[in-house]
Amino acid sequence: QVHLMESGGGLVQPGGSLKLSCVASGGTFSSKAMGWFRQAPGKEREFVAAINWSGHSSYYSDSAKGRFTISRDNAKNMVYLQMDNLKPEDTADYYCASASGSSWTDIVQAENLPVWGQGTLVTVSS
């Protein structure tokens, strides 16, 4: 079973950048698709970005497209979310998740992903 832990959240001004990290331990990280989700106060959790097992294919929500970049380093069991041009509406708890399969579609289409991290808080405010 893969265990996930996020880091890198914090307070940033509008227009600023943050890079979130998610480290995986146990299981077979390198063969699984990974994704980032977020949940703002009072709102449902929403998809942000997903990446396939090799890192060569990714997919973004409309709100993330052009501002966020998902990447992974299988040698380090890490997945990242680089967030640029942050907006107040990006304020949320950010979670990484692992799919059962290797394609980013396994993240996007799954109703229940098997493994989640504990989350890291991102606050965008002046």
Nearest to 106 by CA among 39, 48, 32, 21: 32
Compute the CA torsion angle 56, 82, 59, 88 (nearest 10 deg).
180
> What pLDDT sits at residue 2?
84
Least confident of 25-34, 39-48, 54-63, 79-88: 25-34
> What pLDDT sits at residue 81?
98
Q: Residue 76 pLDDT more than 90? A: yes
Mean of all residue pLDDT scores within the chain: 95
